[in-house]
């Protein structure tokens, strides 16, 4: 009888028999003979089967155990921030033509997709005040690593200096990128800048991992004297208030695009922002979308540069990143277009002032000390007891406390404040911390 093995599997028993016969075996089990028997068909301790309504109810009840940022007050940051996302963002990305967008393998037939990418590049370039932006990388850390490799190609130099401001997580990813490329990673504190040795680049993060604002201009002058490039990783929301990388004489600048209209989403998918001076465009990884006119004189868009290994000779490729971040790029573009310069400036100011208000009030609490001096919206506080105990106490009051960044014997918490942390929430948090 020619029956299907399962209502969810389109092949019939006869179909499976014919496929096995073609392979040269009789049963599916024959395909597994080379595998160790103790790894086959393990005993999985599953609960009894549930009907669909029972299963739905089970997961619905289980999900109520989650602590989410839209029901709790949250002060977590360190690279992923709880910013408000305008309704225009969701409205645009839910359109079918955008939701299904992917790499335009026939770019001339994907004018809408290309225009989105072009607008994204234009808006990010304006925000950073840099001349060129690519169509997006995986995320912030990979963008920084790609920026470092880009500098090595430009300068034909294998020495990268990493400033202590750069996150240790970023450094681990950089090490992964450079491990097999004979690139030397040097600590800033170990470099003798008075020597004659030249370097490919200096990596700096500002605001840094702990929220402090670095003197990027001085570092830029320092590395330029060594014939190297300045690669700055930044927090894009801060650029509504702080000097952008282009004004700080950065050669290459990167960022995590998540704060610009992208949900936290358990850590991804996000988008890496990568910008540079125009003179370095030929070494920029990824894609560049350009604006032109067609034979009828109408506006048209084209993939001007495609420097991944699928498009050009492998040895000339500047990146092997192939995944399109087009949908996330659209979120960023709609967010920036919705807010505009004045809107982003307002949000930056709110984040800055509320963070400084919270830090000032915490410093007045007995046993608490603010470590950070010059910060944007994140600061580190030394607390009077184990950081875990304080965070557990806060969580009982529906507050996600700061990130534990304790070192040695110090109990340190890093608080991130955004426009979603209302004055009422800040006052309540202060009163609860007084009770610790």
pLDDT digits (tens, 9 = 90+) for 278-308: 999 999 988 889 999 999 999 999 888 876 6
- What is the average pLDDT across 193-209? 96
Q: Is 352:103 a contact under the CB 8 Å cutoff?
A: no
pLDDT at 286: 83
User: How many C-beta neighbours within 10 Å does residue 290 have?
Assistant: 13
Q: Is 144:151 a contact under the CB 8 Å cutoff?
A: no
The CA distance from 218 to 214, in Å, is 9
Could you write out the DSSP letters of every residue in 103-156?
Answer: --SSGGG-HHHHHHHHHHHHHHHHHHT-SEE-S-BS-HHHHHHHHHHHHHHHHT
The CA distance from 116 to 99, in Å, is 12
Nearest alpha-carbon partner for 234 in 89, 138, 129: 129
pLDDT at 38: 83
How many degrees, rounded to 5, is the angle at CA 362 between CA 361 and CA 363? 90
Query: Token pair for residue 298?
Result: 């109408």
Could you write out the DSSP letters of every residue in 3-27?
Answer: -EEETTEEEEHHHHHHHHHHHT-SS
The CA distance from 250 to 373, in Å, is 24
| Partners of residue 429 on adjacent β-strands | none
How many degrees, rounded to 5, is the angle at CA 341 between CA 340 and CA 347? 90
pLDDT at 308: 63
**Does 73-83+341-433 match 87-337 in CATH topology?**
no
Q: What is the pLDDT of residues 395-418, one digit of tens each?
A: 999 999 999 999 776 899 999 999
Q: Is 82:69 a contact under the CB 8 Å cutoff?
A: yes
The CA distance from 86 to 213, in Å, is 28
Q: What is the pLDDT of residues 317-358, one digit of tens each?
A: 777 676 678 889 999 999 999 999 999 999 999 999 999 999
| Partners of residue 205 on adjacent β-strands | 233
- What is the average pLDDT across 103-128? 85
The CA distance from 172 to 334, in Å, is 32
Mean pLDDT of the chain: 91
Alpha carbon 418 to its chain's center: 17
Is the pLDDT at 3 greater than 60, yes or no?
no
Among 3.20.10.10, 3.40.640.10, 3.20.20.70, 3.10.150.10, what is the CATH number of 87-337?
3.40.640.10
Q: What is the pLDDT of residues 121-177, one digit of tens each?
A: 999 999 999 999 998 888 999 999 999 999 999 999 999 999 999 999 999 999 999
Q: Is 376:238 a contact under the CB 8 Å cutoff?
A: yes
Cβ-proximal residues to 245 (8 Å cutoff; 6+ apart), any chain: 128, 129, 130, 216, 232, 234, 253, 275
Domain ranges of the chain: 73-83+341-433, 87-337
106: left (phi over 0), alpha (psi -120 to 50) or beta: beta
The CA distance from 24 to 380, in Å, is 65
The CA distance from 26 to 18, in Å, is 9
The CA distance from 291 to 114, in Å, is 9
The CA distance from 282 to 371, in Å, is 43
299: left (phi over 0), alpha (psi -120 to 50) or beta: beta
Segment holding 344, helix H or strand E = helix 326-363
The CA distance from 282 to 278, in Å, is 9
Q: What is the pTM of this model?
A: 0.86
User: How many C-beta neighbours within 10 Å does residue 325 have?
Assistant: 24
Output the CA torsion 21→27→30→35 (10° steps): 130
Please give the CATH number for the structural domain made up of 73-83+341-433.
3.90.1150.10
- What is the average pLDDT across 220-233? 97
The CA distance from 59 to 63, in Å, is 6
């Amino acid at each position: 009888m020619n029956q299907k093995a399962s209502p969810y599997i389109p092949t019939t028993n006869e179909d499976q028999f014919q496929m096995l016969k073609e392979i040269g075996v009789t049963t599916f089990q024959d395909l597994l003979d080379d595998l160790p028997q103790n790894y086959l068909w393990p005993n999985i301790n599953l609960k009894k089967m549930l009907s669909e309504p029972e299963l739905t109810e089970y997961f619905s009840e289980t999900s109520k155990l989650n602590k989410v940022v839209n029901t709790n007050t949250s002060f977590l940051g360190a690279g992923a921030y709880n910013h408000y996302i305008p309704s225009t963002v969701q409205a645009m990305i839910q359109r079918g033509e955008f939701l299904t967008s992917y790499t335009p393998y026939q770019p001339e037939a994907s004018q809408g997709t290309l225009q989105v990418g072009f607008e994204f590049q234009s808006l990010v370039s304006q925000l950073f005040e840099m001349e060129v932006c690519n169509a997006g990388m995986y995320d912030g850390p990979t963008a920084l690593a790609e920026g470092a490799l880009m500098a090595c190609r430009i300068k034909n130099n294998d020495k990268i200096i990493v400033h202590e401001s750069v996150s240790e997580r970023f450094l681990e990813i950089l090490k992964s990128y450079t491990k097999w490329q004979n690139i030397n990673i040097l600590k800033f504190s170990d470099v003798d800048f008075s020597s004659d040795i030249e370097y490919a680049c200096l990596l700096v993060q500002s605001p840094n991992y702990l929220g402090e604002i670095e003197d990027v201009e001085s570092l830029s002058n320092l590395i330029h004297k060594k014939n190297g490039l300045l690669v700055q990783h930044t927090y894009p929301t801060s650029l509504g208030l702080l000097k952008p990388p282009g004004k700080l004489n950065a050669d290459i600048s990167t960022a995590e695009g998540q704060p610009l209209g992208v949900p936290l989403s358990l850590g991804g998918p996000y988008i890496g922002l990568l910008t540079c001076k125009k003179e370095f465009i030929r070494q920029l990884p990824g894609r560049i979308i350009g604006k032109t006119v067609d034979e009828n004189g109408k506006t048209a868009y084209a993939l001007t540069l495609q420097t991944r290994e699928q498009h050009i000779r492998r040895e000339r490729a500047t990146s092997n990143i192939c995944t399109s971040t087009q949908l996330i790029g659209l979120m960023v573009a709609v967010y920036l277009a919705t807010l505009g310069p004045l809107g982003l400036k307002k949000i930056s100011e709110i984040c800055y002032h509320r963070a400084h208000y919270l830090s000032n009030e915490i410093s007045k609490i007995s046993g608490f000390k603010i470590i950070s001096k010059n910060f944007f919206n994140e600061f580190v506080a030394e607390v009077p007891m184990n950081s875990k105990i304080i965070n557990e106490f806060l969580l009982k009051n529906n507050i996600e406390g700061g990130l534990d960044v304790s070192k040695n014997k110090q109990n340190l918490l890093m608080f991130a404040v955004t426009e979603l942390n209302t004055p009422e929430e800040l006052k309540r948090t202060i009163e609860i911390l007084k009770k610790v």
